[in-house]
């Protein structure tokens, strides 16, 4: 027996439980995923090169610049790579955290997600609304734009076109390499470049995992928005008595009888509430990660543009190519943030447009008792305690003003980072220590681990 989904109008839709995952398999899968996540996180945290500690000369090997080097020097090489790609690693961690939390939230609500997606199909058939009108073209343009930009970032990371993409892959390869070797170990660079290229694909997987649930959220909001648009048109025709000369059978077929229109209105309210229940936590994590990642991205871009003429700093080698990558990244983030905010905001706009139709047309001319009861019911629905909008668990209402709020938040954090002057590279003292005391060539380290940056 399926789980019933009760509608506000008293209608009960019972969906098949064929999509339900067996409890035993669910528990085993959840436990396996949790174990792998914990092992992966703690194994990589222990390998972050920023943890210096008391390193002794218990190993001697070949470093990035060649020659027999001690473990102290090898650690300095890793620290140089780490500090050079610190901002890129922070942005990457934001995407990883968002993708991980979104996957966990989606997994916990997997049963309700199946019922909700089935309910969308049942609601479209019951209300006889073409909710997919124009959605295909919109989603193709939306997803196509993101895929083109993501492919550019993937190609840049694999080909080591810019430090911000090739460098973060080098850092991830360094951390992965040290999972299987001692904490301080020279990297075999013939194998290291292959490993770095593989982490370009890992970076692509991180981007896809962070965006796939948000794309589904935009798609669902687009469908519900189309439902409200069609319903508003039906109300406008009924209140203007355009349907008065039609028979009851024709009105029932076109869903323009007052009882049917009230039921359809409640179904649309249930769909809006369902979107909020499924995607509330996912959208919150999305905004949280985007504020941090875009803020650091803008700060990094400004620092690069201000320091690009400093030829004395080896840690800035190749940064002129980062400008193009950061412009693409920030543009994609801004466009996606705009559409993610506008998609649910259009639900609120179309719902308010329906209320405007009721208010403007409701008292024009003589009305029957049934029409007055319908208008009164709609007034109660629209002026009730809860808004007809996606409210993300009642934390904030997703309307057009929300986009301005988050843009303002990004600007505030950006100005704060500029005032604090957060360091993004090694200090001059550390660079002198590399070149003078340890006799390392930072330019050669960059060439060996990232690329020549022609």
The distance between the two most distant Cα atoms of the chain, rounded to a whole number of Å, is: 96
> Domain coordinates of the chain in residue numbers?
87-426
CA atoms within 13 A on the CB side of 261: 25
Q: Which helix (H) or strand (E) holds 69?
A: strand 68-70
Assign 244 a pLDDT band (cuts: 50, 70, 90): low
* pLDDT for residue 101 is more than 50: yes
Under a CB-based contact definition with an 8 Å cutoff, are residues 29 and 17 in contact?
no
Per-residue pLDDT, 11: 38
**Segment holding 155, helix H or strand E:** helix 135-158
Which pLDDT value is given to residue 243? 60
Residue 24 confidence (pLDDT):
43
Query: What pLDDT does 373 receive?
Result: 83
Q: Residue range 144-158: average pLDDT?
A: 82
Computed over every residue of the chain, the mean pLDDT equals 72
Give residue 12's pLDDT band: very low, low, confident or very high (50, 70, 90). Answer: very low
Find the mean pLDDT for residues 320-344: 85
Q: What is the spatial distance between Cα 2 and Cα 114, in angstroms, rounded to a whole number?
A: 11
Q: Is 261 in contact with 376 (CB distance < 8 Å)? A: no
The structure tokens listed for 179 are: 């999972």
Helix, coil or strand: residue 398:
coil
The token duo for 448 is 């060996």
Better-predicted residue by pLDDT, 38 or 351: 351
Residue 19 has pLDDT above 70, yes or no: no
Angle at which helix 442-449 crosses helix 163-177, to 10 degrees, equals 80
Q: Residue 298 pLDDT > 70, yes or no?
A: yes
pLDDT at 302: 81
What is d(CA 329, CA 327) in angstroms, rounded to the nearest whole number? 5
Cβ atoms of 73 and 163 closer than 8 Å: no
Per the model's pLDDT, the better-predicted residue between 345 and 314 turns out to be 345
Q: Is the pLDDT of residue 401 over 70?
A: yes
Looking at residue 46, what is its pLDDT? 45
* 115: three-class secondary structure by DSSP: helix
3 state SS for 166-188: HHHHHHHHHHHHCCCCCCCCCCC
> What would the mean pLDDT of 415-435 be, rounded to a whole number?
68
Q: What is the mean pLDDT of residues 207-216?
A: 85
Residue given tokens 């100005």 in the structure block: 415
Q: Which two tokens stand for residue 226?
A: 């189309």
Q: CA-CA distance, 49 to 114, in Å (whole number)?
A: 43
**Closest Cα partner for 160 from 194, 187, 185?**
194
Inter-residue contact 406 to 287 (CB < 8 Å): yes
User: Does residue 70 come out as left (phi exceeding 0), alpha (psi in the -120 to 50 range) or beta?
Assistant: beta
Q: Is the pLDDT of residue 118 over 70?
A: yes
Residue 253: band (very low, low, confident or very high) from pLDDT cuts 50, 70, 90:
confident
Q: Other CB atoms closer than 10 Å to residue 295's CB: what's the count? A: 22
Bigger pLDDT: 4 vs 310 = 310
Element (H, E) at 214: helix 189-239
49 vs 113, more confident: 113
Give dist(CA 226, CA 375) in Å, integer. Answer: 22
At 407 the pLDDT is 83
pLDDT for the residue numbered 245: 65
CA distance linking residue 35 with residue 40, whole number of Å? 8
Which has more confidence, 42 or 385? 385
């Amino acid at each position: 027996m399926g789980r019933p989904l009760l509608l506000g109008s008293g209608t009960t839709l019972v969906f098949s439980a064929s999509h339900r995952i067996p409890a035993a398999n669910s528990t085993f899968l959840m436990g396996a995923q949790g174990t792998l996540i914990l092992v992966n996180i703690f194994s990589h945290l222990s390998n972050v090169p920023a943890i210096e500690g008391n390193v002794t000369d218990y190993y001697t090997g070949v470093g990035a610049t060649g020659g027999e080097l001690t473990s102290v020097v090898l650690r300095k090489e890793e620290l140089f790579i780490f500090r050079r790609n610190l901002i890129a690693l922070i942005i990457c961690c934001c995407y990883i955290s968002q993708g991980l939390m979104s996957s966990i939230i989606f997994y916990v609500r997997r049963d309700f997600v199946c019922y909700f997606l089935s309910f969308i199909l049942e609601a479209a058939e019951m209300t006889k609304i073409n909710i997919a009108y124009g959605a295909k073209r919109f989603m193709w343009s939306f997803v196509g734009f993101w895929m083109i930009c993501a492919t550019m970032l993937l190609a840049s990371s694999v080909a080591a076109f810019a430090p911000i993409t090739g460098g973060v892959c080098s850092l991830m390869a360094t951390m992965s390499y040290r999972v299987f070797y001692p904490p301080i170990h020279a990297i075999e660079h013939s194998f290291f470049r292959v490993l770095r290229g593989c982490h370009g694909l890992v970076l692509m997987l991180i981007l896809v995992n962070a965006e796939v649930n948000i794309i589904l959220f935009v798609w669902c909001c687009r469908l519900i928005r189309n439902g409200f648009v069609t319903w508003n048109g039906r109300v406008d025709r009924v209140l203007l008595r355009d349907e008065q000369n039609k028979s009851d059978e024709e009105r029932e077929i076109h869903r323009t009888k007052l009882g049917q229109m009230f039921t359809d209105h409640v179904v649309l309210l249930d769909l809006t509430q369902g979107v909020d229940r499924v995607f509330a936590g996912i959208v919150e994590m999305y905004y949280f990660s985007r504020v941090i990642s875009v803020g650091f991205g803008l700060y990094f871009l400004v620092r690069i543009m201000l320091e690009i003429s400093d030829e004395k700093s080896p840690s800035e080698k190749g940064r002129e190519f980062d400008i193009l990558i950061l412009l693409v990244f920030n543009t994609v983030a801004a466009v996606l943030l705009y559409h993610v905010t506008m998609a649910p905001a259009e639900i609120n706009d179309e719902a308010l447009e329906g209320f405007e139709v009721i208010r403007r047309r409701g008292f024009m001319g003589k009305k029957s008792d049934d029409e007055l009861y319908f208008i009164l019911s709609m007034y109660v629905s629209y002026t009730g305690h809860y808004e007809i909008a996606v409210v993300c668990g009642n934390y904030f209402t997703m309307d057009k003003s929300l986009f301005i709020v988050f843009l303002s938040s990004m600007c505030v954090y950006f100005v704060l980072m500029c005032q604090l002057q957060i360091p993004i590279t090694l200090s001059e003292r550390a660079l002198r220590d590399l070149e003078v005391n340890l006799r390392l060539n930072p330019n050669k380290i960059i060439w060996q681990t990232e690329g020549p940056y022609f």
